[in-house]
Structure 1
Amino acid sequence: MGDPRLFTHVRLSSTLAGPDASVPAWFASHGSFGGWLNAEVQHIIDEIRLLLGDIATVTAGEGRTTDHAWAAGETFSIQFTTHARAFGTILSSVGCPPPGVNMQRVSGTRGSLWTDEHGTISVDDGSGPRVLDTPPGVEAATAATDDTLTELIASNSLSRALAGASSRLMGPTVSMCRALRDRIESGPSGTTDIPPTTFDDGVANTAVHMAILRSIVTGRTEEVPTTVSA
């Protein structure tokens, strides 16, 4: 696909759509670091940094698509640029009425890579679109959700939705745990298709997250510091 230049992330879900939706107390409060942005954005930041490199600037907004009794938002949008001169848009909401939309796309100088709502990964390098095979060692989700456990731990709309996603997350979680085990057993000289995550990655991701929160408050584009004290 050549050099990646444009990243697009769109997730529109009805998980918290409507005034009857309920959330845990921490999610409802800005003071408890609640809201959908704080729940999801770290994962997207990590993915962008892996695919496009370090983020340079962010411009962000947060709000609510439907009316709720709590203060924290369930919808956010972010525009960003990277030090490698790529740019992108993140639009995510769990408060939109159906139908849902779930798509990620990376566009490069010679082609595009994208996912759909079923988790299928496709690529088009100019010769036509094709679906990529699941990499060796990456397990598909096979375990069904335990409905009894879901009822025990899920006392609100958000928790029920997250508990219901456990079967989809099972395969990727197993793959990440195996990669961690292999890295421990083989040492620094070992090889794995999944790059190891370091403490520095966590600090760098948090620096982007903090810049996003500053942008929401100031209403301006915020720079991400390139050197952060851990």
Structure 2
Amino acid sequence: MKEHVRPLPTYLVQRYLGWKATTYAENRSWYKRLAEDGQRPRAMIISCCDSRVHVTSLFGADSGEFFSHRNIANLVPKFNPDGDHHGTSAAVEYAVKALKVSHLIVLGHSQCGGVAGCHAMCTGHAPELEEKTSFVGTWLNLLRPGYEHVKELPEAEQVAALEKQAVMISLENLMTFPFVQAALEEGDMTLHGLWHDIGSGGLSQLNPATGEFEPI
């Protein structure tokens, strides 16, 4: 391991030093309070790993506001104590049971490479993702049921529709967690589904009555 670990690139060191000298220095008491009092985020956001999805910028959030979890294609597995997808499940459990967040948000986005990969798998164009050794392919299998809802659409519309299916499937799967369902039924928490258009900067939210995403 030693021969492969290196110091940070200079540009990252410079950015950190700039942050420490400005943002941190100007808000030192706030960061001290966060450290001493612990976190009390009002919302958890489950979003994609995509570097273009900048959740804190999107909502103008400060440190301590969001409990964030990111994974390929912003997916949530079904509740399954004996399953293999424990990273996301553990984050959800901690947010709901320990942090007691008031809002649980799933945020999808346009031009999602993970969703495109799932579409390619479902249409037989990504055999490499169907290999048992592919962690990405195994993870994207969570989205396969969504393809059944979009496969009759014109081909040019399928991937974008599948991006929104990723949000809807994740919301449905969240409802299989007993502690999520309990928090919802007791009125302690609400669920939200969002889809972000990177190019236009648009944000749409799922209308549960219609099943459609409507611009905010």
TM-score normalised by length of structure 1: 0.24
Greater share of helix residues, 1 or 2? Answer: 2
Greater share of strand residues, 1 or 2? Answer: 1
Greater relative contact order structure (CA < 8 Å, 6+ sep): 1
TM-score normalised by length of structure 2: 0.25
